[in-house]
Structure 1
Amino acid sequence: MRFFSIRQNGKLYIRLLLGITVSVSLFLMVSSFVYFFAFSRILQEKAFESDLRNLQQTSRTVAKTTESAQTVSFQIYRNSSIAKILYYSEPNAFDVQAAMIDLGNYLSSMPFIHSIYVYNSAQERYYIAAQNGQRGIIGEDELMDASIASILEDYQQYRPFAPIPRTIMASERFPEETAVYTYLCYDAIGLEQQINSAVIVNVSAEWINRELGSNGGGRTFLIDDRNAILSVDDLQSSGLDTEDAAIIHASAQKEESGFRIAELQGVRTLLSRTSPDQYGWQYVRMTPYEEIVKETKELRAKTLQIASLILAIGLLLSWLLSRYLYAPINQIESRVADLESERRNTSYAIRQNALLKLIQIQDFNPQVQLEKLKRIGISFDFTKPYRLAFMRLDRFKESESLQSKDLVTFKFAIMNIATEISSRQYGVDAVDLGDDGILLLLNVPEHASSELAPIGDMLAEIQNACQEYIRMGLTIAVTPPSSRPEELHALYKQVKEATLHRFFRGRACIVETDELQLEPVTKYAFPVAKEKRMLDALMSGKTDEAKLQFDDILSGTSSYPIAVAASASAHLAVSLGNMLAEIERNGLTRFGSPLRLTPPRFEDYETLEEMTDGYYRFFDELKDTLVAKRSSRQEDLILRITEMIDTRFADPNLSLNFIAEQLDMSTYHISRIYRQQTLTTIVDMINQVRIGKAKELLGSTELSVAEIAEQTGYTSSSYLHRIFKKLNGVTPAEYRSAHSAKQQPGG
């Protein structure tokens, strides 16, 4: 399983290549460390062997030099010329000259000899033959080599013919000190245990050290028979601190040659030593450990670099090769993934469409349909006991404001909640019916009818869960159990219509169709008399009476199928629409086009309570509109009458009856309204306008009263005379005379 998992996620080849690359790199790294430590050990031994050979060579050179120095010393002692300056207290000049010539010959014949001293205590003189520096006959107080006097004085502290490592300053011209091995040969000792004469041979340490060779930054030390640690190069004190000197002494205490790794002068060091020679001397070589393993470290670094390079190249090749090898496989996998994704995306739609067709068709072969359903993963079996539950979304008009995909998401969530809750007791499939409908197809488990909880409790749980989690209410209707496939379509129609009884029962109700006892539609008769009383009450402004009649009409449909309530509501809407049109035709008011005031529609409301509120508002608005329009119509009538009087006052026919005929209204109606609005009669208003015009003509023209009567609409001058005097208290002639008198100057 692990292999196939790796194979499927596209990492098989890359992991194989990575494993090989990492294994090779790891092998190189581990082997490089193993080889490093092994080679380091070998190099330590090789370095020790090399140092030991050099140190032993130095020891042998010192031994050979000692033999040569002994031979020279014996020859000098036996030389008759030199014996004179050794033993005579006052040798003559010729003897001294001959002795010095012989000393010079000895010095010239042996290049390793730095200088030869012949000491005569009686003369208190040194006869010196030297390669450089102080030479000749030197008094004790003139000798630059002060340390030789100390050696001669303490000669008992030194073994005869044993090398004495020391440094000498040859002369003031050569102030630097020279490292030499001094060989002391004395023969004559006085009664006071003091040397009477001695031959001193100084061998150059540089000549001995040439056999030692050079080995990088290492240093060679000499531990003499007095445990003094001297540098072989200059025979000076080693300059080591106490801790380092203690480490060297501890290593030198061992009799056999060997080596150890120690920390000297803050540096890890290979410390090689020789075994003590015949003089009790030991040679110690300090070689920095880094110099020994330098090449090995370089090799290790190169190996690690190669391993890292192999790892990097391997990683890159693994990635590239894996991509190359997987290119066709990835294409196939991509295509398969696309097909699987397409199948997953369409399988839901396929199942939904199959279930929709199933509940809509009436005649079908049950076995064929079952096979089709099983092939697409639908478990609903209508040949076994089943129930249908229709869920209708409450306040769907408000939900329609959501985007289409959001509404689909909410309905999908409702279906999931309902499926999860229902699956505890039933086999369930859910169908999205579009708009506000969802259908649950519930298979009742066999031999479990008595153990099932009441279906109403389960449906109530679905309602509560949807309200809690997605804030959506549901009205649910459910059918009784059935095992007959041919009843599926009829039960679907029945349960769908049952949810519409939410109109009477209210939202979030649960309707069981077998308990819903309804009268046949054919038994319903629309109450025309109640409708007429409602319309009459509306026309007369009695909205309370109209509301009571409306309630009686709608409540009378509750025991019938919902189609009866819809039909009754539509009948009322048509009647009210006709009433509004009749009001407009009679000129009582105009509602605009299209009608601003329209009767409520049944399909706009989910419950009777909401539709009743809508009709109540409609009745109140209609009443307010009629009252407002009626007041406005009376004002228009007054204006029309006044305008007619002002424009047609000269017409003798202008009268109350004439105006009523022109307005197509009764004289009683217009006179009553005019008097209510203006507090005067139409006849009085006609006379006021005519007399006003007559006064204007009397004052501005010379027309006779008869002519003025004709122009103001009176049939005779006497009638004008009578009305003029009634309204003004004077006759027309008196009014003209008075008006003329006012216009004369000084009048």
Structure 2
Amino acid sequence: MNLARIRFHKRSIIVTWLVSYLSVLLIPIMISGILYAAAWHVVESEVNRANTSALKQMEQAIDNSLRGIERISLEIALNKLVTGFINTSKPLTDNDYYELISIASDLRLYQTANDFIEQIYIYYRNSDTVISTRDRTNSRMLYEKTREQDTMSYEEWAKFFEKPYMQEYTPITFREDGQSMKAVMYAKSVILANPDQPGAVILFVIKDSKLLANIPSTSDRTSIAVLDKENRLVASTGLESRPALLDYGKLTGKNGMFMSADAGQRAAVSYITSESTGWKYISTIPAELFDDKMAYMKKLIYASIILSLLMGGVVTYLFLRKNYVPINLLIQSFAKKSGLSFQEGLNEYGYLQAALNNTFAEKEQVDRRLHQHRDAIRSHFLQGLLKGRLEQNVPIHESLAAHDIRVASPYYAVLLFHIEHFGKFEMDQYAAPEKVRMLHFLIMNVAEEVIGDTNQAFITEIDNMQACIVNFGTDPDSDELKRIAEQVKSFLLDHFHVHLTVAISEIHQELYGLPPAYQQTLAALEYRLVMGSGEIIRYEDLPSSETVRPSRSYYYPLTVEHQLINLVKAGDFEKSSAIINEIIEINSSDASISVPLAKCLMFDLTSTLLKTMDEIGASSNRRTFIVQTHQVDRLMASSTIKEMKGQIREVLAEVCQFIQDDRQQDHNALSQQVIDYVKSHYADVNLNISMVGEKFELTPSYLSKQFKAQTGEALLDFISRTRLAEAKRLLSLQQLSVSDIAKQVGYADINTFNRIFKKFEGITPGKYKDIQ
């Protein structure tokens, strides 16, 4: 087959392949470019490394010498002759001149200690004296020798020495013996005890030629420069003028390298920063040096690119022919058998895809329909396994394979989840069936996650509950089932406030043991009547005929029932509630009561309470109370003993409170009658507790106890206070004697009247009458 038979249109795969092969050809070209860039980076790094190393050597040499100068300046500042001359003022005496000679001698010694030092000056501002190693002069002559620029005035120069304290370097032009040279001056103040007095400044002059003498040998085209923190050019070599790239602010960081173009000339700039002085040491190399080193590499790169294009073009042509032949044969075969013709302008892969889609379309539709009903079919199959409804004509292993169920071991158990409370879903706007479906879906996912990879879970909805078949992957363990149930229950409770009751069967072998396992979970779930809702109930923990105690299988004797009835009638909530708790505790202790007996206990307790309430409701008011509160419906709606216990306590509390309130009303009526009787008979000398008791047909002790319980005051004290209130009114009128008043309020003996009056009022009746 030749390329003439290949259709080169834009949708053909031949165009796609051609683009792909050409893209592959770009890889060596890109690699060549990367290699060139890497080589350039290596050369650049090596040059930068060499320059940085040279700059560091120069930096270390200069910093060491400068630190030596700073140490000498400290020694000079501590010299007694130097500090002693600070306070000397004009005119100078012979002794002052002698001291200056001694100071100059010492300065010559200090100068010889460091080769960098060109000259040392000490400027005494108090006497305007400048002493050096050679001679004595004044500030005006020092200005002529050490100006930074020729245009600097004397006043500008003098401001430099007006600082209260200085210790800094500055570039200057040093003039001596009729010659000018670039230099660096280090100025240090001599500290005085009194800072208000004019002091002295020590000046060290360092020639830049001595600084640059520390520059290692480099290329003739390499330029070196030193900048201080004030962006001043301290020293340089190889520079006719200061280029724009020598800017302290642009040289950020402690060191670095960058390419710069100045006056049309490209250059590589390397720099480092001195940690002691903060000076920037800069090396500048023309970019042509890089280009010379990379010329040979460029030739190799160009040769490899041309060779790649030539060889790649030949290989592309050969592979296009070889790869298109099988595609063309496959298209011709599909065109004959499927009836779909290959039209001009179609993509070969698109044609093959359309043919395949047309072939498998019907199969995909069938698979899609099966997949839509797979969950329902599988759920129905699992329900049949649990209820024992299996097809006898189909082997069990074929049924499992058809529903994509793969068992890991012959050991099975069943967990049954019953929803007691919807939790956060209770307030949703969905209907109850939708809430149940949502919670069943949630339980299914949580259970599958908890069971994990070791064991398998097959979950289905059955009888409005969620059943989980656990197939053990390892050795069966009943504690593992309880762990699963606890985790599922706690997760739904913590995150959604959903309350579940979980029933757990025993472990069975083979699939034929699933129906008995399911029946066990139903029996365990029914036992929540005893244990209460929201519990985890294992079938193996249920009481059997051997565990039930025959001597006390049901406890609710008639004597206890009569005692409960009497306590309810008496309105004693605490004792009647304690008896009910005791009855339930004795019957449900150790979970030994059976479900039928538990139902009998619930009916008996409800019946006892209803009979008692009926007896209490003898009057019309009480019967109306019983009918209005619907206690019967509340008691009969209980589904567990625990729930019934709570409902009985609520009903008991209402009934006992009603009885107490009713009795309180009767008692309040009695005390009011006694009060009215005492107020109308207080003048009777025979009035006492016995007389009142006979009136109301009550014993004196019972009457006194009930009166104090209802009013908080003893009956005898109430009688005395009633009489004394009338006595005080009569005493304030000042019309009767004390003895007459005593007889008028019911006291036959004046002494008794005086004693009782003083007991309650604190004074005698006579004194009370006098102060009125």
> TM-score under structure 2 normalisation?
0.35
Bigger-Rg structure (1/2): 1
> TM-score under structure 1 normalisation?
0.36
